[in-house]
């Protein structure tokens, strides 16, 4: 029942309503456990042609220090029965990615950075919509924006939710550091 209700809410977002998609991603971020060692991030992958939500994710949703974008891609890969690094071959159309915080360009854990996961999907991702740039607390000089632009992927800042996004993203952090 809850899944059906969520499905209806997801389908109520009009194509091009970037703020609504960002609010959905922000609601997902609240599901991530607050920890001092990561940001709570939400992400949504949308079919650019049909406006269908293909996957949602949030930080630590799946096992293994997972980021929100990574969770989306892993769930999509599983749905298409392909390895995550071959997801671009399985996606039929162009997709859009909404993420509350700029995709990471470096992982201190040694995991593949989210920007590299996006680039591995290839030209299927046309635009990445971002709520805030990654704060420099863990990794300074995030190069994701430039890497995406260099690959021909549009990087769009969806403004207006920065304060809310940062409050949720940094829950569990020592605010004095």
> Annotated catalytic sites, by residue?
69
DSSP letter (8 states) at residue 170: T
Residue 44 CA to residue 25 CA, distance in Å, equals 6
User: Using an 8 Å Cβ cutoff, are 13 and 141 in contact?
Assistant: no
What's the distance, Cα to Cα, between the start and end of the chain in Å?
43
* Residues paired with residue 127 on neighbouring β-strands, in sequence order: 96, 154
CB 118 within 8 A of CB 108: no
Displacement of CA 44 from its chain's centroid (Å): 6
């Amino acid at each position: 029942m809850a899944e059906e209700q969520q499905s209806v809410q997801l389908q109520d977002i009009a194509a091009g309503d970037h703020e609504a998609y960002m609010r959905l991603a922000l609601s997902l971020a609240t599901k991530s456990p607050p920890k001092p060692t990561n940001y709570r991030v939400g992400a949504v992958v949308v079919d650019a042609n049909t406006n269908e939500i293909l996957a949602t994710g949030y930080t630590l949703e799946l096992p293994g220090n997972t980021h929100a974008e990574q969770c989306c891609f892993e769930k999509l890969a599983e749905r298409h029965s392909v390895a995550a690094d071959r997801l671009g071959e399985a996606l039929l159309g162009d997709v859009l990615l909404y993420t509350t915080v700029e995709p990471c360009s470096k992982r201190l854990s040694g995991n593949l950075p989210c920007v590299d996961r996006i680039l591995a999907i290839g030209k299927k991702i046309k635009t990445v919509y971002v709520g805030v740039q990654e704060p420099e607390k863990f990794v300074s000089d995030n190069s994701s924006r430039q890497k995406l632009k260099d690959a021909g992927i549009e990087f769009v800042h969806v403004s207006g939710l920065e304060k809310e996004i940062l409050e949720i993203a940094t829950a569990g952090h020592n605010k004095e550091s």
